A and B are shown apart, each in its own frame.
Chain A
Amino acid sequence: MAKNKNMRPPMNVPKGTLGRVIKQLFKDYPARMTLVLVCLLVTAVASTLPAIFMGQTVTLVEKGLVEGIDTVYGGIVKIALSLLIVYVISLTCSVTYTRTMAIVTQGFLNKMRQRMFAGMQRLPIRYFDTHTHGDIMSYYTNDIDTLRQLISQSLPNMITALIVIVMVVAIMFYYSFWMTLVVFLGVVAMMLVTKFVGGNSAHFFVRQQQSMAKVEGFVEEIMNGQKVVQVFCHEEESKKDFDRLNEQLFKDAESANRFANILMPILGNIGNILYVAVAIVGGVLMVLKVPNLSLSGLPLTIAAVVPFINMTRQFTGNVSQISQQVNAVVMAQAGAARIFALMDEEPETDNGYVTLVNCREKNGQIVECTERTGMWAWKHPHQADGTVTYTRLAGDVVLDHVDFGYVPEKIVLHDVSLYAEPGQKVAFVGATGAGKTTITNLINRFYDIADGKIRYDGININKIKKADLRRSLGVILQDTNLFTGTVMENIRYGKLDATDEECIAAAKLANAHDFIRRLPDGYDTMLTANGANLSQGQRQLLSIARAAVADPPVMIMDEATSSIDTRTEALVQKGMDQLMKGRTVFVIAHRLSTVRNSDVIMVLEQGRIIERGNHEKLIAEKGKYYQLYTGAFELE
């Protein structure tokens, strides 16, 4: 999973992504964001005012030096008071804005996270099959993180910097055109440097990411096979390989960071040089008494030069602020684009209107009821005449000339027809890729068929609401997935309102009770990381218990007992047969002893059913099944 994190395909950032983030921000927090904007504006404007007051102070001081303190004392007090007022206002705004922004940033991220998660839950299985887990995971880690950067830092910084720059430019023009021109030259230099250094650093950061991905991939592979490394005394070899990759990563990281590190000193010193240049140009202009060109029309005096050079500092500071944010903004745009792409993904469609209801029988009629009766019925409203009919849920599944392909160009199931009568055990046997799991994917509508029909108790499954269809099917999958929580909670996942007794009964049925009791905290043992502390066989027993507690009318077992030894499997099977008596079971297995006692066995090859019948019939036919059974043939 980790390996794919850095190998995501580059994403074309659609135009207006940044705008969409900002729009969403205002939509989620209209009042707060407006408040933030107002506060930002006020603080930005306020931050330029001291320079002006500074200029006035210098004028007063000059005057005071000549005419005495008393003539200017009032002026100084006035300036100090105005400054105080400006400060109080700006500080108030500053506190308001930073605190509001903390709330907005975290709240927005939280909202986005939940939106992504809710959106993700509604996506069809196809999405998860075509995207790596690492890729999806990085929406929640890397991409959200770029958004946090953007909202909490880049956006406010850039807004403030822009306002300040506009203000400062205006004030600069107010004092002197010529000196402003010098500043502009400096800014052009800064922009060029940013482009060059930033571009180089970006180039190396990409390479660093690639080297990182290589190291990560290598480490993952070796650590995964660490026991094999040990058994073959291959440690020295893998160290050599690792050193090579590690050295490359070091070189790329070093280059990337060097360029990133020198950007600030360069910009800072261009600022310094500009500062000096402006001072000297100002001085020269004053000395040579060049006629001043300014909005104020005032001559160039020390009272104009001093605030001007102070402002130069502010100006360059803000320009480097912006250039520092450029990288973050670019990254955030890519991140936001990916997040929006996930949220815009088409959710799983469901046009079903037939629902599953509890029912009871009354005078031979099926009557809907609310309590759990252990008897279900399909409620089928008919649009034409507005009537409702009830069909008792029996578990009769029919596939009628079904064609299917995960991609339209490549059909993996050809003309598959089968019928499973209630109470039957139907088994699928065939090599990996023959289409066994695909059939079950179609029955619970993880995927929709291309051609043909699937009927469930005589109803086309397209008409059944997906949630209800799936609720009627118990599935035990090839890969057992357990969730963080206690053993009890994991079993209860099958039926949320199951009592402890029901869960324990299900565990006993699945033959899991014994090992659970021996766990440190029994049924209260916490499972983490997909039950890493359990063996594969134990995980399978738990997932069987989870399905058993759901007590479904139809059960699909996809390699559900592949990691359980044959003795235990026989015990589990006895329990399951008991539970599923009179209900339909689909079994997929490699191990032929698992499927031997099925009512019907289907042998699949390349998406076609090539043999069907019970064990005795297939053995008598001496076909593929017979070959498999006698060990003359290898499945895979």
Chain B
Amino acid sequence: MLKRLAGCIREYKTASILSPVIVMLEVVIECIIPFLTAELVNEIKAGCELNELLKFGAILLVLAACSLTCGWLAGHFCATAACGFAKNLRKDLFYNVQRFSFGNIDKFSTSSLVTRLTTDVANVQMAYMMLVRTAFRSPFMLIFAFFMAFYMGGKMAWVFAVVIPILGFGLFLIARKAMPIFRKVFRKYDNLNNSVQENIQGMRVVKAYVREDREIEKFGVAAEDVCADFTRAEKLLAFNNPLMQLCLHVVMLVVIFFGSQLIINSGGAELDVGQLSALLTYGMQILMSLMMLSMIFVMITMSAESARRIVEVLDEQSTVTNPQNPRYEVADGSLDFEKVSFKYSAKAKEFALQEINLHIKSGQTVGIIGGTGSSKTTLIQLISRLYDVTEGSVKVGGVDVREYDLETLRNQVAVVLQKNVLFSGSIKENLRWGNLEATDEELIHACKLACAHEFITQFPDGYDTHIEQGGTNVSGGQKQRLCIARALLKKPKVLILDDSTSAVDTHTDAMIRKAFREEIPGTTKLIIAQRISSVEDADVIIVMNGGRIDDIGNHAELLARNAIYQEVYTSQNKGGATDGQE
């Protein structure tokens, strides 16, 4: 996992290395300053010359300036390193998601991907900032200050040798006991917030069923649970500070009691007053570093969960990949399914599609009809390799789809998805998704085919009208027609409409189909629909049921012999007319 993450540092390696190096320099200076001030104190005590004092002052000032510069630079590099690392993480995450196949996308929900790209990356960024700055600073400070204490304080410094392990062990013990509780409680806390979100979203249901009190009670129980765990962990961590103080106190006592005697007894030879106060400063530095270390330990372990979630996405391998020597030409729009079976995951018990054999000639119009869950959508998704078949093969233009270059295949087989999306931007920009180089004339032509031109020109800004995120400012029927126009711009050999005219009125629906027949006769057209009227004039109609082809034929044939088709037909035509809108 660490290796995977480290691979994202890249161009920020320099900053990531410079930062700790400079921090160490800063530490050295910080440790020298008390040493010099000790000298200064002794000078003052000795009642020295004025210029001697000023000389000390100047040196110390220069050192402080150096330390300031180092601190400044370290902060600078550290910000670059951590933010750059975060940038690369986001980039790698996003790029990898772009490589995802439909199968990969199904595994992660949008919100979980967004959280990984934002909150989780932010957590890792924080931890990394800690790592390049404090994680080097603290141990180095610890060692250097310890060394200085010995150099100056001599025997007195042994007190640190005793205190440090005790404190270190204590802090470690606390962190180790608290960590599992934290990890557990964070998961509970997430659940708690999820339940809040659920309640906000479902507030109408809660109110309609008068379940406010029950929800409050349920939330209360969960919140108390979270609180109890948090308190348990925090109470453990609460020992950190007193423990540190205890050690500091011990040092202080020992230094004052034994130190002062040592000074007097040795006549100031082994220790002097200046050194005494310097010892205390070092003591402070040592213990603070230990404190910081234990904090880093906690912080980094806490961000481990975020790191794991990031790596999970980074490591996700696309299940659909380009072949070695791909074909870049699609001969025609003929489609063949040969003994095709498919299930969504290897673990799935049941096949979503079973034993599909199907041959469609180039240029035919094919209707597909069937109930919810009959795998209509699954069937057509195999054609442009949105999923790969489990068994058998799907051929376009007589060649197995797995032999084509993915981009070539998907440009030649245009799918208008059932759950379709428009993106924020102008209508033109949205249409150009189909073909980046399309001229305005081509756009208008495609829109005319999809019966979208008329309503677009009625907008005040025409083709420059801004579409809101998710296409919320156009009606469902308009959205569907824009999506069809977008797909038409690819000039595909195969066009698939997955329930793409459900919100379009039957009259316009018929006009679109007429335009298809007249304007793009060479294109194979697959139309999935709920409405019989959308498919009744197709060359071939496929009736799907439970992942199998129930029957194939034209309208008249199916109406005469197929039970499902008849049932659908009657459910929509009881009163003698077609179904309305969805």
Whether A636 touches B477, Cβ cut-off 8 Å, given contacts A57-B260, A484-B198, is yes
User: Are B245 and A103 in contact (CB-based, < 8 A)?
Assistant: no
- The answer to whether B105 and A227 have CB atoms under 8 Å apart is yes
Residues of A within 8 A of B33 (CB): 272
| Cβ–Cβ contact B256 & A57, under 8 A | yes
Whether the pair B264, A69 counts as a contact (CB closer than 8 A) is: yes
Contacts of A532 in B (CB 8 A): 109
Q: Tell me if A235 is interfacial: C-beta within 8 Å of chain B.
A: yes
A573 to B144, CA, bound (A): 80
B249 near A239 with CB under 8 A, answer no
Residues 566-588 of chain A, each 1 if its beta carbon lies under 8 Å from chain B, else 0:
11111000000000000000000
Structural contact, B252 and A50, CB atoms closer than 8 A: yes
Task: Give Cα A239–Cα B350 distance, bound, in whole angstroms.
Answer: 37
Q: Are B95 and A113 in contact (CB under 8 A)?
A: no
Cβ distance B299 to chain A, nearest Cβ, rounded Å: 15
| Interface membership of B426, Cβ < 8 A | no
Q: Is A80 touching B423 in the complex (CB atoms < 8 A)?
A: no
- B255: min CB distance to chain A, Å: 9
Given A94-B241, A103-B231, A484-B198: A309 in contact with B421 (beta carbons within 8 A): no
Among B87, B277, B568, contact of A250 (Cβ-Cβ < 8 Å): B87
Q: State the CA gap A95–B415 with chains docked (Å).
A: 67
Q: Residues of A contacting B61 with CB < 8 Å?
A: 273, 276
Expressed in whole angstroms, the Cα–Cα distance for A90 and B237 within the complex equals 18
**In the complex, what's the smallest C-beta–C-beta distance from A320 to chain B, in angstroms?**
13
Question: How far is it, in angstroms, between the C-alpha of A530 and the C-alpha of B199 when the chains are bound?
Answer: 10
Most buried by A among B94, B97, B386: B94
Q: Is B75's CB under 8 angstroms from A262's CB?
A: yes
CB–CB A257/B94 < 8 A: no
Closest 8 CB pairs of A and B: A265-B71, A261-B75, A631-B506, A592-B580, A481-B202, A636-B475, A225-B421, A634-B505
Given A133-B200, A276-B40, A483-B198, A634:B504 Cβ within 8 A: yes
Residue A101 lies at the interface, judged by CB distance under 8 Å to chain B: yes
Contact yes or no, A80 B37, CB < 8 A: no
The segment out of A327-335, A378-386, A454-462, A471-479 that lies at the interface is A471-479
Q: Chain B 71-113, CB within 8 Å of chain A: the 1/0 string?
A: 1101110111011101100110011011111100100011101
Q: Is the CB of A257 within 8 A of B82?
A: yes
Stretch at the interface among A212-220, A401-409, A411-419: A212-220
Contact A113–B223 (Cβ < 8 Å): yes
Chain A residues lying within 8 Å of B434, measured Cβ to Cβ, are 232
What residues of chain A lie closer than 8 Å to B338, measured between beta carbons? none
Q: Are B568 and A107 in contact (CB under 8 A)?
A: no
On chain A, the number of residues with a Cβ less than 8 Å from chain B's Cβ atoms is: 165
The A contact surface, by secondary structure, is helix
In addition to A91-B246, A98-B240, 13 A-B residue pairs with Cβ atoms within 8 Å of each other are A87-B253, A212-B118, A231-B384, A272-B64, A284-B50, A302-B41, A470-B210, A565-B568, A591-B580, A593-B574, A631-B578, A633-B507, A635-B580
Chain B residues near A265 (CB, 8 Å)?
A: 26, 67-68, 70-72, 74-75
Q: Does A515 contact B (CB under 8 A)?
A: yes
Task: Judge if A60 is at the interface, Cβ distance under 8 Å.
Answer: yes
Question: Which residues of chain A from 233 to 290 have a CB within 8 Å of any chain B CB?
Answer: 233-235, 237-239, 242-243, 246-247, 249-250, 253-255, 257-258, 260-262, 264-266, 268-269, 272-273, 275-277, 279-280, 282-284, 286-288
Q: Please state if B230 and A283 are interface contacts (CB–CB under 8 Å).
A: no
Q: Across the interface, which residues of A come within 8 angstroms of B26, CB to CB?
A: 265
Q: How far is the CB of B550 from chain A (nearest CB, A)?
A: 13
CA distance A263 to B227 in the complex (A): 34
| Contact across chains for A567 and B567 when beta carbons are under 8 A apart | yes
Residues in B with CB closer than 8 Å to A217 are 469
- B481-516 interface code vs A (CB 8 A; 1 in, 0 out): 000001000100000000000011111110000000
Q: List 11 contacting pairs A-B, 8 Å CB cutoff, sorted by A.
A: A1-B111, A101-B238, A106-B234, A219-B117, A228-B421, A230-B105, A280-B53, A287-B49, A287-B53, A493-B209, A631-B578
Confirm or deny: A105 has a beta carbon within 8 angstroms of a beta carbon on chain B: yes
A72 within 8 A of B: yes
Cβ of B390 under 8 Å from chain A: no
Q: Which residues B198-253 have CB closer than 8 A to chain A?
A: 198-216, 219-220, 223-224, 226-227, 230-231, 234-235, 237-242, 245-246, 249, 252-253
Determine which of B47, B572, B582 lies in contact with A590 in the assembled complex, contact meaning CB atoms within 8 Å: B582
Point out which of A152, A216, A286, A566 has the most chain B C-beta atoms below 10 A from its C-beta: A566
What bracket does the count of chain B residues touching chain A fall in? 35 or more
Q: How far is the CA of A255 from the CA of B436 in the complex (A)?
A: 36
Q: Are B44 and A530 in contact (CB under 8 A)?
A: no
Complex contact B580–A54 (CB within 8 A): no
Interface residue A562 (Cβ < 8 Å from any Cβ of B): yes
**With the chains together, A384 CA to B211 CA distance in Å?**
33
Verify A110–B226 contact, CB threshold 8 A.
yes
Pairwise interchain contact B256-A94, C-beta atoms closer than 8 A = no
**Contact, CB under 8 Å: A283 / B40:** yes
Stretch at the interface among A7-15, A19-27, A136-144, A363-371: A136-144
Q: How far is the CA of A615 from the CA of B574 in the complex (A)?
A: 12
How many angstroms from the CA of A483 to the CA of B571 in the assembled complex? 33
A480 to chain B, nearest CB (A): 8
User: Is the CB of A53 closer than 8 A to any CB of chain B?
Assistant: yes
Q: CB-nearest residue of chain A relative to B129?
A: A257
- Please give, as numbers and ranges, the residues of chain B lying within 8 Å of A222 by CB-CB distance: 423
Q: Which of B102, B118, B260 contacts A227 (CB 8 A)?
A: B102
For A446, list chain B residues within 8 Å (CB): 204, 207
Contact A279 B40, CB 8 Å, known A65-B268, A250-B83:
yes
Tell me the chain A residues, 293-317 only, with Cβ under 8 Å from chain B: 302, 305-306, 309-310, 313
- Contacting residues, chain B, for A272 (C-beta < 8 A): 33, 60, 63-64, 67
Name the distance in Å between B450's Cβ and chain A's nearest Cβ: 14
Closest to B115 in A: A2
B321 at interface, CB cutoff 8 A: no
Q: Which of A116-124, A175-183, A387-395, A605-613 contacts B (4 or more CB under 8 A)?
A: A116-124
Instruction: Tell me which residues across on chain B come within 8 A of A302, comparing CB atoms.
Output: 41, 44-45, 273
Shortest beta-carbon distance from A324 to chain B in Å: 14
In the bound assembly, the distance between CA atoms of A266 and B571 in angstroms comes to: 78
Question: Is A537 in contact with chain B by the CB < 8 A criterion?
Answer: yes
Chain B residues within 8 Å of A31, by CB:
none
Which B residues are CB-close (under 8 A) to A326? none
**Is the pair B87, A249 in contact by a Cβ cutoff of 8 Å?**
yes
Shortest distance between the CB of B263 and any CB in chain A (Å): 5
Give the residue name and chain of the B residue nearest to A474 (CB): B208
Contact of A254 with B80 in the complex, beta carbons under 8 Å:
yes
The answer to whether the Cβ of B114 comes within 8 Å of any Cβ in the partner chain is yes
Q: Is the CB of A565 within 8 A of B372?
A: yes
Known: A76-B257, A102-B235, A220-B114. Contact between A276 and B580, CB under 8 A?
Answer: no
Does residue A617 face the partner (Cβ distance < 8 Å to B)? no
Residues of B within 8 A of A72 (CB): 260, 264
Indicate if A79 sits at the interface (CB-CB under 8 A).
yes
Q: Do residues B37 and A283 form an inter-chain contact, with CB atoms below 8 A?
A: no
- Please, which residues of chain B bring their CB within 8 A of the CB of A106? 227, 230-231, 234
B568 touches A567 (CB 8 A): yes
Provide the residues of chain A in CB contact with B54, threshold 8 Å: 280
Q: Does B319 touch A at the CB level, under 8 Å? A: no
Q: What chain A residues lie within 8 Å of B48 (beta carbons)?
A: 283, 287
Contact: A231 with B506, CB < 8 Å? no
Quick check: is A442 within 8 A (CB to CB) of the other chain? no
A203 close to B (CB within 8 Å): no
- With the chains together, A607 CA to B290 CA distance in Å? 70
> What is the CB-to-nearest-CB distance from B380 to chain A, in angstroms, rounded to a whole number?
11
CB distance B72 to A83 under 8 Å?
no
In the assembled complex, which residues on chain A have CB atoms less than 8 Å from the CB atom of B476? 636
In the complex the two chains form, is B95's CB within 8 Å of A239's CB?
yes
Counting CB contacts under 8 A, is A202 at the interface? no
With both beta carbons as reference points, the residue of chain B lying nearest to A313 in the complex is identified as B281
Interface residues of B in 252-281 (CB under 8 A from A): 252-253, 256-257, 260-261, 263-265, 267-268, 273, 276-277, 280-281
Contacts of A212 in B (CB 8 A): 118
Please report the C-alpha to C-alpha distance between residue A493 and residue B209 in the assembled complex, in whole angstroms.
8
Contacts of B265 in A (CB 8 A): 69
